[in-house]
Structure 1
């Protein structure tokens, strides 16, 4: 047996087997939604969602430029984005994957209501060693708007 590297599958998934796969395998809806944040007309960060429309779940990624950190802006951005995801995108849950060594991100997620749901052991390779990835989740019903 051999293999070739490609950007597309040559074998199609049978319709009755689609229930075993992520919806991203068969839907053409836009999955990535980005909210860019500005201060004084200058971009300072973003929050993006990788959306799974059928399951009403969005994977969150966020970034704030270094010179704006430590002022509560990151938390404000994430809170605004969460409200948007629940109220406008009609998500039921938001999922975050965070590397075990990212203490600031873990603290931010916990501060807005995310709960640790699981750990993927040694799933991230960085700087010559493997690290755990923590999986956090926030359900719409558990989100207390501030």
Structure 2
């Protein structure tokens, strides 16, 4: 009886530790995007994305445009997370501060990004990431009130 309780406790502990590792691994993928953007390295920022991601090329172009035009500071906050055995879904509040020192220009952008990652082999890969408009290097102007 004691051995069964001990085994059950160890299985539960292992499940908790795996869940914590999964959350850390998933968040590390988001951190890799932010680190790549801050370092001015769009290729590094794209490494967490699976090539099957539908907006892969568009987002890659956006990241290249942003890193060529601005110095970027990122602030990410996970506001919702659902983890499964081979899939994680997150909502991330992403804030970027874009600076162009040559023009004495600073702009802040923010948005809630919905992210879905799947386990491919031993790595978590992003297969959904939307909306991407906050990363557009030339965002559309906001409509004027009353227009």
TM-score by length of 2: 0.25
Compare CA radii of gyration and give the structure with the larger one.
2
Q: Which has the higher strand share?
A: 1
TM-score by length of 1: 0.25
Larger relative contact order (Cα-Cα within 8 Å, sequence gap ≥ 6): 2
Q: Which has the higher helix share?
A: 2
